[in-house]
Amino acid sequence: MTAFSGAVTLDGPSGTGKSSVARAVALELGAAYLDTGAMYRAATVAVLDAGVDLDDADGITRAVTEAVIGIGTDAATEQVTVDDVDVTDRIRGSEVTRAVSPVSAVPAVRRLLVDAQRSLVGDAVAVVVEGRDIGTVVLPDATLKVYLTAEPEARAERRAAQLGVTDPAKIAAIAADLRRRDTYDSTRTDSPLRPATDAVTVDSTHWERHQTIAAIVGLARERANT
């Protein structure tokens, strides 16, 4: 089997399982892996710790510029740091989740982190990068661009299962939050969430995780042989 070389981008809305799917795809392909969402969450930690108001774009930019954000590209492990402090677990907490959208919507922050993302993956022979604007902005010449999506209800069910939530009303609230996040991300002025014109859309609404992974790995290997 021909080894994969090149870049796979995996974009899509919140709650589609991009991070876990992209990491698994990278492991299957023997590729490096970059979770750009983790970078924005780390930037959000820096903003929160600096006590900056989320409506203060200049303050947000200053806090992110001054922070030292570290993120690994080994698909087998995850480590995220801000100013040499491990924030791997903290970035997934509710405080950061509530604040990450306004931080990531600041154009200057996006420019800073896009430059950092390109630098991190620039020398990789094979890499899988996931986020919301990877195929459209960060790596527009990627070998394979995938837009991973699923219906909000399916995404809500999966997130609820991760959180151990079984109350139908709470699951409906999760779905409503996902719809709001979709609207926010897809209508922002700078780098809105949308599939690249040459992306392959993978709808995982009715798929198990392993089916989604297998489909994307298959697409990547097809590209490696063309």
Q: pLDDT truncated to tens, each residue of the chain (226 aa)? A: 557 889 999 999 988 989 899 999 999 999 999 999 999 999 999 999 999 999 999 999 999 999 999 999 999 999 999 999 999 999 988 899 889 989 998 999 999 999 999 999 988 899 999 998 899 999 999 999 999 999 999 999 988 988 899 999 999 999 998 998 888 888 888 788 899 999 999 999 999 999 999 999 999 998 877 6
The domain boundary residue, chosen from 73, 108, 123: 123
Q: Quick one: 73 and 178 in the same domain?
A: no
Whether residue 25 is found in the same domain as residue 51: no
Query: Nearest-CA neighbor of 130 among 224, 4, 17?
Result: 17
Structural domains of the chain, count: 2
Domain CATH code at residue 12: 3.40.50.300
pTM of the model: 0.88
101 is in an annotated binding site: no
> Is the same domain home to 158 and 207?
yes
Q: Same domain for 225 and 138?
A: yes
Is 9 annotated among the ligand-binding residues? no
Q: Which of these three, 123, 143, 172, is where a domain ends?
A: 123
User: What is residue 199's predicted lDDT score, i.e. its pLDDT?
Assistant: 96
Q: What is the per-residue pLDDT for 97?
A: 87
**Is 51 one of the annotated binding-site residues?**
no
Query: Is 17 flagged in the annotation as binding?
Result: yes
Q: In this structure, are 139 and 212 located in the same domain?
A: yes
Same domain, 88 and 40: yes
HEC string of the chain equals CCCCCEEEEEECCCCCCHHHHHHHHHHHHCCEEEEHHHHHHHHHHHHHHCCCCCCCHHHHHHHHHHCCEEECCCCCCCCEEECCEECCCHHHCHHHHHHHHHHHCCHHHHHHHHHHHHHHHCCCCEEEEEECCHHHHHCCCCCEEEEEECCHHHHHHHHHHHHCCCCHHHHHHHHHHHHHHHHHHHHCCCCCCCCCCCCEEEECCCCCHHHHHHHHHHHHHHHHCC
Residue 12 is assigned to a ligand binding site: yes
pLDDT at 202: 96
Query: What is the pLDDT, as a whole number, of residue 175?
Result: 92
Structural domain including 176 reads 1-31+128-226
16 is in an annotated binding site: yes
Domain boundary among 55, 89, 123: 123
Asked whether the beta carbons of 124 and 26 are under 8 A apart, the reply is no
Please indicate, yes or no, whether residues 7 and 59 belong to a single structural domain of this protein.
no
Q: Is 131 annotated as belonging to a binding site?
A: no
17 and 44 belong to one structural domain? no
Please tell me whether residues 165 and 195 are part of one structural domain: yes
> Are residues 198 and 149 both part of a single domain?
yes
| Same domain, residue pair 133 and 223 | yes
Residue 226 has what pLDDT? 62
